[in-house]
């Protein structure tokens, strides 16, 4: 064989080896892409079913709370001590307002207007435990300052409402400069600020009729029992899973 032919054959063999190596590398990348896409689709599908489960749990809880809200009211001091079992339970209250120790919950909007909720302790004859009562919402331009003396109802009170649970948040619940302005209903902090024990939950008064005296804050309604964002989150995760699967299939078909 002529020397130039042998050289040409050697170069061709080298090119073939390079092409095979390049093809092998591309196949490994393709397989890796397909595996990653499949895993992503599986993870998104799992998260979608998790959100569906959360939605089912939320709907079951809403049905339970709705049934409690429709039960005949009982005296507030006879409500279950278990806050989970007492939540949204219809109750009635009859006692004496402690206006000297009432306070406001700040930054409570209503129909787009800033305001506060007025919280007043109610004392009961023969008991050292008080129940904090949310008497309603009033307008406050800065969302925290209001003349509480303007909203003094009769000292002896009676009304219906529902039980609400305490909550906690991040940051300072109130400041020394505004001791009657609280950001949320933190039971431990409130218990330290009052000279008597308080119930493990508080009560929200609801409207009893259309004719409300001028010094009575507009009562709050029972909050809507929404399903939360779980349905939309589930749709998003299932969409991501579908996109991943379709992307993998189209990529492999092109290859």
pLDDT along the chain (255 residues), means of 10: 51 54 64 84 90 78 67 81 80 93 93 93 92 94 92 91 87 85 93 94 82 81 72 88 86 76
- Determine how β-strand 103-105 pairs with β-strand 181-182: parallel
pLDDT of amino acid 104:
95
Separation between Cα atoms, residue 209 and residue 219, nearest integer Å: 10
Residue 242: phi, psi to the nearest 5? Answer: -65, -45
pLDDT of amino acid 226:
66
Separation between Cα atoms, residue 122 and residue 132, nearest integer Å: 6
- Going by the DSSP 8-state scheme, the letter that residue 175 receives in this structure is B
Residue 166: phi, psi to the nearest 5? Answer: -70, 165
Q: Residue 153 corresponds to which tokens in the numbers above? A: 């109802």
Which pTM was predicted? 0.67
pLDDT of amino acid 100:
94
pLDDT of amino acid 103:
96
pLDDT of amino acid 224:
64
Separation between Cα atoms, residue 139 and residue 90, nearest integer Å: 27
> Would you call 236 exposed, middle or buried from its count of C-beta atoms within 10 A (0-12, 13-18, 19+)?
middle
Separation between Cα atoms, residue 84 and residue 150, nearest integer Å: 35
Task: Return the number of other C-beta atoms located less than 10 Å from residue 218's C-beta.
Answer: 14
């Amino acid at each position: 064989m002529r020397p130039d032919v042998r050289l040409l054959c050697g170069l061709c063999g080298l090119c073939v080896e390079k092409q095979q190596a390049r093809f092998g590398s591309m196949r490994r990348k393709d397989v890796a892409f397909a595996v990653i896409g499949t895993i992503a689709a599986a993870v998104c599908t799992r998260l979608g079913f998790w959100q569906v489960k959360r939605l089912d749990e939320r709907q079951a809880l809403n049905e339970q709370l709705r049934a409690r809200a429709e039960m005949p009211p009982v005296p507030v001091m006879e409500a279950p001590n278990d806050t989970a079992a007492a939540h949204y339970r219809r109750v009635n209250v009859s006692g004496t307002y402690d206006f000297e120790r009432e306070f406001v919950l700040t930054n409570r909007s209503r129909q787009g207007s800033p305001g506060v909720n007025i919280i007043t302790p109610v004392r009961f004859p023969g008991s050292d435990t008080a129940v904090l009562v949310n008497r309603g919402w009033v307008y406050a331009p800065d969302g925290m300052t209001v003349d509480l003396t303007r909203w003094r109802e009769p000292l002896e009170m009676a009304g219906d409402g529902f039980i609400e649970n305490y909550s906690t948040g991040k940051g300072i619940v109130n400041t020394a400069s505004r001791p009657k302005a609280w950001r949320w209903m933190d039971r431990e902090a409130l218990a330290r600020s009052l000279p008597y024990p308080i119930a493990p939950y508080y009560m929200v008064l609801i409207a009893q009729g259309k004719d409300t005296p001028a010094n009575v804050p507009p009562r709050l309604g029972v909050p809507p029992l929404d399903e939360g964002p779980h349905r939309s989150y589930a749709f998003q995760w299932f969409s991501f899973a579908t996109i991943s699967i379709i992307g993998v299939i189209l990529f492999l078909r092109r290859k």
